[in-house]
Structures are given as C-alpha cells and as structure tokens.
Amino acid sequence: MRHFNIVDRIQDAEFNFIENNLKIDLPNILKDFLKKYGGLSIYENTFSSNDKGDFQIGQFLMFDEILNLSKEFFHEYKRKLVPFAYDGGGWHFCLSFDPETYGKIVINRWTDHLPEEQFLIIADSFETFINGLQEKTS
C-alpha cells in the first residue's frame, strides 16, 4: 500500500504566534517534537522521576491548547510555562521559561494540591524528559 508524507501537526506560523504572544523563543527540539507528535498519544508514555514518582502522558498538545494554557498560566499565576502534554487527569507537562526554573519540565497539578504545591519540577530539561519516557509495563 502507498505511504504518504505527513504534514507537520503544528506549523511554523503557529509556533511563531506562540513565541510572539509570550515573548519567548521556543527551542527547536520542542518544535520539532510537536510537529511530529502534537495531538497524538504514544506507548512510551511514562516518566519516572527518582524522588517524585511516575508521571504518565495521555496526549501531546496541539497549537490552540498550547497557546490558551500558556496565556492562562501567565495571567493567573504569573508563570511563563509552555504546556506540551497532559496526563489522563488533566495535569499539564510544561517547559518553563521562568527565570528560576528556566528549561526545566514542570507539571501543573491543577487538582489535589494546595496552590503552593501546584507546580512541581520533574525533569531538568525537555530532552531529559523525552529520553526518559518508557512504556508502562503491568
């Protein structure tokens, strides 16, 4: 059967729009990853943080979700966080652009946590996070 070339899931113009709105430069590693996996789920979806537990990705985000949530994080919490995925319960995995956590992966735990415990650093970089994803075995 014939195979087709797939259009990027998120376009360069959409990344430019996010960057202009947040006044940041998204790293190419994040853009390249989301061009391929935006809106999709993967089997290798579990990240184990040594001291913080296991975190499971439900799906990677698309343009509108990234833009809207980034704006919300900034306006509601004064945080420069760019979400790129969410778990099954609605928590969001974000790349931080805050000065004190720049480049780290922060999970936004909307539920079940006090406001001062809502944001938790789980990885030192996007690359560390992605390379650490494993398929959950039962």
Which segments of the chain does DSSP mark as H helices, in order?
Answer: 12-22, 28-37, 63-77, 126-132
Q: Are 107 and 94 in contact (CB under 8 A)?
A: yes
* Domain ranges for the chain: 12-132
pTM: 0.94
Query: How far apart are the C-alpha atoms of 1 and 138, rounded to whole Å?
Result: 34
Answer CATH for 12-132 from 3.40.50.720, 3.40.1580.10, 1.10.10.10, 3.40.50.1000: 3.40.1580.10
Which are the contacts of 29, defined by CB distance < 8 A and separation ≥ 6?
Answer: 126, 127
Q: Taking each helix axis from N to C terminus, what angle separates 63-77 and 12-22, rounded to the nearest 10 degrees?
A: 10
What is the structure's pLDDT at 50?
80
- For 32, the 3-state DSSP assignment is helix
Residue 119 φ then ψ, to 5°: -105, 125
Spell out the per-residue pLDDT of the chain, length 138, in tens: 999 999 999 999 999 999 999 999 999 999 999 999 999 999 999 999 888 899 999 999 999 999 999 999 999 999 999 999 999 888 999 999 999 999 999 999 987 788 888 999 999 999 999 999 999 876
Nearest to 81 by CA among 90, 89, 68: 68
